[in-house]
Amino acid sequence: QVQLVESGGGLVQPGGSLRLSCAASGSRFSVRAMGWYRQAPGKQRDLVAVITTGGTANYADSVKGRFTISRDNAKNTVYLQMNSLKPEDTAVYYCKLFALGFDSWGQGTQVTVSS
């Protein structure tokens, strides 16, 4: 069993910043990568950023240069630092664990960018 605990979402003004975190816990899994996805109302769920255990990171074009993904492998935790937030960043953000043999999703955390 794997649990993903997300935190850090909330309401911020345009140009502001938020830091999301997601910790994976449980027994009998081997982490290969962790990432963040987001889904706005009426839209598909899209990749925001993903980072491998080795530290290789990839970003969606829409967030590159503004968001930074990082990880603490010892804690099985992934972070997403979001700067220069725009209203179009408003979405539910989901943490995803890529483990050996399976994937797992978090419950999602709401990020709202509005004045």
pLDDT, one tens digit per residue, over 77-115 is: 999 999 999 999 999 999 999 999 999 999 999 999 999
pLDDT more than 70, % of the chain: 100
Average pLDDT value for residue range 52-72: 96
pLDDT of residue 1: 80
Higher pLDDT among residues 4 and 74, named by residue: 4
Higher pLDDT among residues 62 and 29, named by residue: 62
Higher pLDDT among residues 26 and 63, named by residue: 63
Residues whose CB falls within 8 Å of the CB of residue 50, separated by 6 or more in sequence, listed in order? 33, 34, 35, 36, 57, 58, 69, 96, 98
DSSP string, 95-110: EEEEETTEEEE---EE
C-alpha dihedral sign at 29, 30, 34, 38: negative
pLDDT of residue 19: 98
